[in-house]
Amino acid sequence: MTETAIGDDVVRAALVEACPGVRVGGIRRLDGGHTSRQWVADTDEGRLLVKTPVRDPDPEHLRGLIAATRRAAEGGVPVVRFRAFVPRSDRLGAPLLVQEFQEGTPAADAWDGMDGGQRLAFAAELGRLVGRVHACAGDWYGDVLGTVKYPDARAFLHAHIDGKLAQAPGDLTSAGRDRLGAALHRAVDAVGGDDGARLVHRDMWPPNLLLRDGRIVCLLDFEHGKYADRFMEFGKLDEHVFAGFAEGRAAFLAAYDEVCPLPADWPARIRLGNAIHSLATCVYFRRWNPRFAARYAAELEEWLAGSA
């Protein structure tokens, strides 16, 4: 079903299909992300968020989101609660997820209104939040549902890098894809101890952090959540939070370390995690919006030069 064909009446019918007996009032379309369409419905159960995927119609993708979110909830992470899941909605012809709608302001929208002290407090609170996510241990590396499992961090990282390189063109960097891949694999082999699989969000940036009264009240959208090497998480944080607020990084790391202690080799592991983030993001933008890819290719060039 095309986007223009989805009217409020169709969404209303799909919501009633998923939640029999619910009384639905007004419905409004949200300006969602690139991977899903979303609507907010006023109901007799409160406001509900109705969500259907755009790019990945496999219902297992949403099952993974639900599983990762619930695992985070077990660890004390503030997340949404789910109301219903339909693997294939008759009305939409696609998977449908219904969850509570959380009121609040995305951190991306609140940032400009924060003073220096508020930003430092936010950085520390963010460190504790990410620490709670990473304190959720897994029994394997891979998706939370256990469909694909790896025995240790190195096996997981090697497979992850190979998967991204397989999607990359040969001229991903001036050094070439093969040389970059060899350097990344050497860096994985050089990593020290394995402190176990941890839940990672993998889309940790300000739009997914919901605030009320300046406090983080909800971490949204675990659709990329996995049991993984936790230092893969830091690339997006460094890019979208600390690149423009370097003074907050120490407060973040100190708060994180109190909840989920950092190993002695954490700087090297974060550096590798950031390089893997640059690889994944460069490959993503080469496919979906090539004009943004050059930045991440340059980051890979810089990493490669420092690893020679």
Superfamily for 105-307? Answer: Aminoglycoside phosphotransferase (APH), C-terminal lobe (3.90.1200.10)
Report how far residue 64's alpha carbon sits from residue 71's, in angstroms, rounded to the nearest whole number.
10
| Fold type of domain 3-100 | Phosphorylase Kinase; domain 1 (3.30.200)
pLDDT number for residue 174: 80
Report how far residue 254's alpha carbon sits from residue 247's, in angstroms, rounded to the nearest whole number.
12
Which of 261, 208, 256, 227 minimizes the C-alpha distance to 79? 208
Q: Walk along the chain (308 residues) and give the pLDDT tens digit of each residue.
A: 444 458 889 999 999 999 999 999 999 998 766 778 999 999 999 999 999 998 788 999 999 999 999 999 999 999 999 999 999 999 999 999 999 999 999 999 999 999 999 999 999 999 999 999 999 999 999 999 999 999 999 999 999 999 999 999 888 888 788 999 999 999 999 986 789 999 999 999 999 999 999 999 999 999 999 999 999 999 999 999 999 999 999 999 999 999 999 999 999 999 999 999 999 999 999 988 899 999 999 999 999 998 86
Report how far residue 221's alpha carbon sits from residue 181's, in angstroms, rounded to the nearest whole number.
30
Domain segments of the chain as ranges:
3-100, 105-307
pTM, to two decimals: 0.93
**Residue 249 Rama label (left phi>0; alpha psi -120 to 50; beta):** alpha
Amino acid at 278: S
Which of 52, 54, 50, 4 minimizes the C-alpha distance to 288? 54
| Strand segments (E) across the chain | 24-29, 36-43, 46-53, 82-86, 96-100, 105-106, 141-142, 149-150, 198-200, 209-212, 215-219, 226-228
52 DSSP β-pair partners: 37
Q: Which two tokens stand for residue 76?
A: 């004390």
